[in-house]
Structures are given as structure tokens and as C-alpha cells.
Amino acid sequence: MRVIDKETAILVVDIGNTSLTCGVYYGDMLVWHTRMQSLKEKTSDEYFSVIKSLLDDKYLSKIKFVAFASVVPEMTRIWMHLCQKYLKAEIYLINAYSDLGIKYLVSDPGFIGADLVVNAYAALQKYHTNCIVIDLGTATTVQVIKADGTFEGTVIAPGIKTGSAYLFEKTALLSEIELVAPTKLLGTNTHDAMLSGIIYGHAFMIDSYISAIKRQYASDMELKTIITGGMSDLVAPILSFINHVDKTITLDGTYLALKRLHEISKD
């Protein structure tokens, strides 16, 4: 069995429906990461060409382990082929069946997405307390993980881009706009009115969920709130209850999960 030491580079890949994020950890530090479109039409050769063009060879040549947190099985197969062909790496697939010490409230947690699992695990390992983790991706998820490792459950709602794309598609008189931070709550033109509705509307939804969760658990525990995801910079300044913006929590969780599973496999 391979050993993880200070000269080992570890590639982690978070594969979502719209985008995928890759990161390389070396000496327990995230030394490189990038985001790209999640395209099933691309081959493993094409994806490797992108990685090779972006990643310094001193790290690429030292990759011995790869961990995937994927919600797109077809993309997982493409990337596994990439790793087997070009990296000859030992591969870990992180999911709800992985032995991470997380306790689920259902008998079969297989339906719980890998992104939720690694976000929960990262929150436990990085913050050591009860956490609400909000992830703004293709879908917006709001989940609660207790400090004792109990996965309380999650909310899945349309993401900002997903919801706005539907709005642009179904309304004949509304054109697609760039999603940026709104400058006012009430718009005096169509552009500003839409921007407020999309960004503020999403933020108010999240705030409402956080408030309701905090009320539900008020007698049991305090909750730290963490937000992540590609759209978090737009929404976080508007939210009332956020403690941390953690843009790398999904990559960190995938990396930490790999390290735990590797240690377990040695015993």
C-alpha cells in the first residue's frame, strides 16, 4: 500500500452538474486549484490536457492519490479513466457509505450527495462544533451537521443561476443579465429589479432557513453558519447570520476524507 508522506501530492475533484473543481494538496496545504465546466462531451484525454497545461509538473508528477466527491456518475467514469491512464494513482470515491464517522438518521444514506457528505465532514474537522453549511452551486443546499457527527438533514433548492436561467427563459420581456451584487433593494428599472429579486431573494430565503433552523435547535445547541460555493461572494454580504465564508470547504472535506479512509485501510 502506498504511503502518504511529505512528498506525496493528492488530487481532489469535486464534480458537480454545472462545474467541477480540482485541487492539489501537498504537505497538507492546498497548493493549487481550478474550476472548469462539467462537460460530459469531453474525453479523459481532453481533461488531462487542461490539467497538464495549468498544473506545475512538480506537483503533477507527485500525484499518488486521487479522491472524488461526485454527483455525476458519467463524469466520475471519465475522470477515473484519466487517473488510471495518466496518473497511475490510487483512487478513493467519497460518498455517504464512506467510513467518516458521520451518523445518518436513515437506514440507507446512499441518496445523500457526495458534496453534502464532504462538506459535513470538513465542517466537523475544521470547526469542531455544530454547523449549518450552505453551498451555492447548481442547487443551493442548507444542511445541519452536529458536533457529534450526526447528519441532521438538508434542504435542496434551485441555485441562483438555475433559478435565474428559468426566469430568463420563461419571460418574454426579460432579458438575461449579468449576476453581480445589487446596489439597491428596490429597482427603478427592469435590470435592477431583476437583480434584486435574484440575489436578495435568494439571500432572504437562506436567512429564513437559517432563522428557522436556529429556532428549531435553540434549546439544544448553538450553530455556526458557513457558506461556500461559486456564488457565495454575492450573497454572503447580504446574509444576517453567516460566521464564515469558506470557499475551499468541499475540497478540504474531500482531502480530509481521503486521509481518514487511507489511515483506516492501513489498520
Strand order of the β-sheet with 9-15 is: 29-37, 19-26, 9-15, 63-70, 90-93
Q: Which one of the listed residues 115, 135, 246, 252 is annotated catalytic?
A: 115
**Secondary structure, 3-state, 3-68:** CCCCCCEEEEEEECCCEEEEEEEECCEEEEEEEEECCCCCCHHHHHHHHHHHCCHHHHCCEEEEEE
- Determine the Cα–Cα distance for residues 166 and 197; give it in Å rounded to an integer: 13
Q: Are 45 and 29 in contact (CB under 8 A)?
A: no
- Determine the Cα–Cα distance for residues 238 and 154; give it in Å rounded to an integer: 22
Does 246 participate in catalysis according to the annotation? no
- Determine the Cα–Cα distance for residues 126 and 74; give it in Å rounded to an integer: 31
What's phi and psi for 29, nearest 5 deg? Answer: -120, 145
Helices 114-127 and 249-266 sit at what angle, rounded to 10 degrees? 90
CA 26 to chain centre: 20
Whose cell is 458536533? That residue is 147
Q: Are 102 and 95 in contact (CB under 8 A)?
A: no
Active site positions, annotated: 115
